Amino acid sequence: MIIDGKKISEEILEKIKLKVLSIKKNRNIVPGLAVIMVGDDPASRIYVNNKKKACSKVGVYSREYFLPGGISEEDLLKLISELNRDQNIHGILVQLPLPSHINENAVIEAICPEKDVDCFHPFNMGKLLTGNANILPCTPAGIIAALEHEKIDISSKHCVVVGRSNIVGKPISLLLLQKNATVTICHSKTLNLEDVCRRADILICAVGKANFISKEMVKNNAVVIDVGINRLPNGKICGDVDFDNVKFIASYITPVPGGVGPLTVSMLINNVLECFGKLVEKI
Ligand code: GUN
């Protein structure tokens, strides 16, 4: 069974659109998102444009900043500080990765936690760790949305997460744990990776390496969630999983493109509305 992330995402965006309409009617304001991109990484540009398109689809105000790769950290922090005070902006997203001369942590920590739609700020990460999250990080939230949409039970399942990034691996492990899964986190120094992966009821891969998960690493009827987005030399986009072979073994599998990616975007827009709700409550 192939999980159609695009379709699930469209359903979620349709619901969000109605909420935005009602906010507009009742309050005469719209939620707003600022997206900052530094440099000209082609993949990041595609992601930023997808976020912009989703905003306009549901009626969320969006503003994009395409900044030169050579911008100083000071100037970037100044822009974030302005956006923190901007009444029309309820969510701020700085597309990662940033150029190496900019301290990523300093940038993330400069975003006011109430506008941190990525849930990357240490305050929000801490809330997530303790099970008190106001919002969830977008890609992990998208994975949970896909599992819930397909009514896949998480409780008591053995979930193996390959990759330990702050964006995906660590937070999805926490969310699965909160849903009573037994979680194993694997990384580049894990021994016998193949054996560990083959024990997974739910296998989640986020390493950014094309065809990293072969059919030999997947148990019969496992659920396989592919978070990777890789570009092959021929220009084609593919995930971390050898989809063409693993699809015959898995009970459910997410494709790339059209799997987790669109769900990440709809979760982001959902987070903009969450942040908006909290911010206007305060006024
Ligand atoms: N780079 C890759 N994924 C993400 C994401 O979810 N948010 C941001 N800000 N940057 C990313």
* Residue from 44, 47, 93 to probe ligand 1 pocket by mutation (most atoms less than 8 Å from CB): 47
Identify the CATH homologous superfamily for domain 138-261: NAD(P)-binding Rossmann-like Domain (3.40.50.720)
What is the phi/psi pair of residue 210, to 5°? -60, 135
Q: Of ligand 1's atoms, which has the minimum distance to the CA of residue 118?
A: 7
Q: Which CATH number fits domain 28-112: 1.10.8.50, 3.40.50.10860, 3.90.180.10, 1.20.120.80?
A: 3.40.50.10860
**Topology match between the domains 28-112 and 138-261:** yes
Structure tokens at 130: 């303790």
Which residues are known to be catalytic?
Answer: 51, 95, 118
Q: What is the pLDDT of residue 283?
A: 62
Separation of 137 CA from ligand 1 center, angstroms? 10
**Any atom of ligand 1 within 6 Å of the Cβ of 94:** yes
C-beta of residue 58 within 8 angstroms of C-beta of residue 17: yes
**Any atom of ligand 1 within 6 Å of the Cβ of 271:** no
Q: What is the pLDDT along the chain (283 residues), one digit of tens a residue?
A: 999 999 999 999 999 999 999 999 999 999 999 999 999 998 899 899 999 999 999 999 999 999 999 999 999 999 999 999 999 999 999 999 999 999 999 999 999 999 999 999 999 999 999 999 999 999 999 999 999 999 999 999 999 999 999 999 999 999 999 999 999 999 999 999 999 999 999 999 999 999 999 999 999 999 999 999 999 999 999 999 999 999 999 999 999 999 999 999 999 999 999 999 999 987 6
Distance CA 264, CA 95 (A): 13
Strands 237-238 and 230-231: antiparallel
Q: Of ligand 1's atoms, which has the minimum distance to the CA of residue 44?
A: 1
What pTM does this model have? 0.97
Who's near 267: CB < 8 A, 6+ residues apart? Answer: 12, 136, 138, 139, 141, 142, 145
**Any atom of ligand 1 within 6 Å of the Cβ of 95:** yes
Separation of 168 CA from ligand 1 center, angstroms? 9
Q: What is the pLDDT of residue 42?
A: 84
Q: What is the pLDDT of residue 143?
A: 98
Q: Of ligand 1's atoms, which has the minimum distance to the CA of residue 138?
A: 6
Domain ranges for the chain, please list them: 28-112, 138-261
Q: What is the pLDDT of residue 122?
A: 98
Q: What is the pLDDT of residue 117?
A: 98
**Any atom of ligand 1 within 6 Å of the Cβ of 118:** yes
Cis peptide bond upstream of 255, omega within 30: no
